[in-house]
Amino acid sequence: MTDTDEVILSHPGNGVAEIRINRPQARNALNQAVRHRLADLFRQLGADAQTRCIVLTGGEKVFVAGADLRELAEATAIDMYLRHTERLWRAIAECPKPVIAAVNGYALGGGCELAMHADIIVAGRGASFGQPEIRVGIMPGAGGTQRLVRAIGKFRAMKMVLTGLPISGEEAGQLGLASEVVDDAQVLARAHELAQTIADLPPLAAAQIKEVLLAGQDCALDAALALERKAFQLLFDTRDQKEGMRAFFEKRKPHYEGR
């Protein structure tokens, strides 16, 4: 199996791209080849005007079961530093297109962190989210402490990262880690339905919403509101704003060009 086979890109809908991690023999564990391929694809799709929303998924039984420990077991601190995986994760975090994670089965360690890099998480009821790194002598290293605490709060996050115990898809929905929880068989279809809904809407507005929401969440409220206000005003110089409001008055479906 080649690196390209282990991460598969497809275009199943108009404006929708799907990235599928495909290492069933390793429970979709993240090795360096997969990390680099993911980073390359997110950069590519982020710059592609035809792509308006991205669905990120794994298999029916496993989303991503964690990092590939075979690459890590004998690594030194300098080995880990020189891998510069933060640059690969940043390519996903900084993708300007909305990203939906479709999570079935295990999303553990790096898999849970990968899902948290998405903007929307659609989880199956039988999914399993967790940060079990403490059980092999380490701790989360790609946002598993920082993104998790922002998603579910200090006390719940502390329980997950200090015990390594997972939570179900149902619990993830209740705690706010998942955007939506559906039957396992419906996860991918629901993710694509949401992706198509987003892809049919004005992409410049979607990009501004994502940018402002992410930038503003760690700002003081006044600064965040200023970011929002400027982005709101900027969108009045787009063709899509004119088209959307004209279509509303003319009672027809708008056609958005991303201009």
C-alpha distances out from residue 241 to 17, 113, 180, 205, 245, Å:
25, 35, 29, 9, 6
Interhelix angle 85-93/32-46, nearest 10 degrees: 30
Rounded distance between C-alpha atoms, residue 103 and residue 126, angstroms: 10
C-alpha distances out from residue 34 to 66, 71, 108, 217, 234, Å:
12, 12, 16, 30, 37
Residues annotated catalytic, as ranges = 67, 110, 113, 133
Edge-to-edge strand list for the sheet holding 99-103: 7-13, 16-21, 53-57, 99-103, 120-124, 180-182
